């Protein structure tokens, strides 16, 4: 079950964090995996390509390179992203907003635009990385959270357009994940803050997020499209506590 034998997969942002875990998971499931990143690094067994997903021409070049080498693309994981959190609208700059959208939104949209040209007539899989902050409002998320909400809408619209080609388009919305971007910050206050507000009481492991990508990439998920799957320990389900005094019984009967 969930085998990816003989599948050709492309993972953007595949050199670290969630992308690296997805590459490892796909390799273990039997796929040939191309890892695209800004740096020349890849998981052992994957094929590394260097590129910038914020540039449409570079996306086309990378996809053409994969198709020329392997004949087709079965799976595209649009995962590359930047994470400028902590910025209120009052401090948002044109440069920050442009960079965030060029990578997080344009990179996904142009991947969705061009990948179908290299997928077989039998269909394919496109899976995008959104975020739990793309599903709920948060303070200081003027660039990042808004960009991840855009990924949600790209996913839904693309699922409708590409259904006729047998291509499914879905998104994963991870909670906060124990990647180097989080753990390399000394005494990162985000870790206890999010842990306290997550019903499962902890942050996610990259491998747990990769498992969801694996399922949506598999044949078993053939009838799922346009879905946004939160893998967030329950944080978007609602508050994990409601610290109020008991109500006066006179008003509850």
CA distances from 3 to 64, 79, 114, 215 (A): 25, 21, 25, 9
- Which position among 34, 144, 223, 242 bears the catalytic label? 144
Q: Cα separation of 13 and 120, whole Å?
A: 24
Contact present, 154 and 115 (Cβ < 8 Å): no
Strand partners, 204: 177
Contact present, 86 and 96 (Cβ < 8 Å): no
Q: Quickly list DSSP for 42-59.
A: --TTSEEEE--TTSHHHH
Q: If we measure between CA atoms, which residue out of 69, 5, 218 comes closest to residue 61?
A: 69
Is residue 180 within a helix (H) or strand (E), and if so which, with residue range?
helix 180-183
Beta strands in the chain (DSSP E): 8-12, 32-37, 47-50, 75-78, 124-129, 167-174, 228-231
Active site residue 242: no
User: What are the residue numbers of the active site?
Assistant: 144
């Amino acid at each position: 079950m969930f085998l990816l034998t003989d599948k050709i997969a492309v993972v953007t942002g595949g050199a670290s964090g969630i992308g690296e875990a997805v590459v490892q998971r796909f390799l273990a499931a039997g796929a040939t995996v191309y890892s695209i990143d800004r740096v020349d690094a890849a998981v052992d067994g994957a094929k590394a390509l260097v590129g910038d997903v914020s540039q449409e021409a570079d996306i086309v070049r990378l996809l053409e390179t994969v198709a020329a080498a392997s004949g087709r693309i079965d799976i595209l994981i649009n995962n590359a992203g930047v994470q400028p959190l902590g910025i209120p609208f009052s401090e948002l700059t044109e440069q920050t907003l442009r960079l965030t959208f060029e990578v997080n939104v344009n990179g996904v949209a142009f991947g969705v635009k061009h990948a179908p040209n290299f997928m077989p007539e039998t269909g394919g899989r496109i899976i995008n990385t959104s975020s739990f902050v793309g599903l709920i409002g948060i303070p200081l998320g003027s660039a990042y959270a808004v960009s991840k909400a855009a990924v949600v809408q790209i996913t839904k619209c693309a699922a409708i357009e590409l259904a006729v080609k047998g291509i499914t388009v879905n998104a994963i919305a991870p909670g906060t994940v124990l990647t180097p971007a989080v753990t390399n910050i000394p005494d990162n206050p985000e870790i206890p803050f999010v842990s306290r507000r997550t019903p499962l009481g902890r942050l996610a492991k990259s491998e747990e997020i990769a498992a969801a990508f694996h399922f949506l990439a598999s044949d078993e998920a053939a009838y799922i499209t346009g879905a946004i799957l939160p893998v967030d320990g329950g944080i978007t389900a609602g508050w994990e506590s409601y610290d109020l005094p008991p109500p006066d019984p006179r008003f509850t009967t």
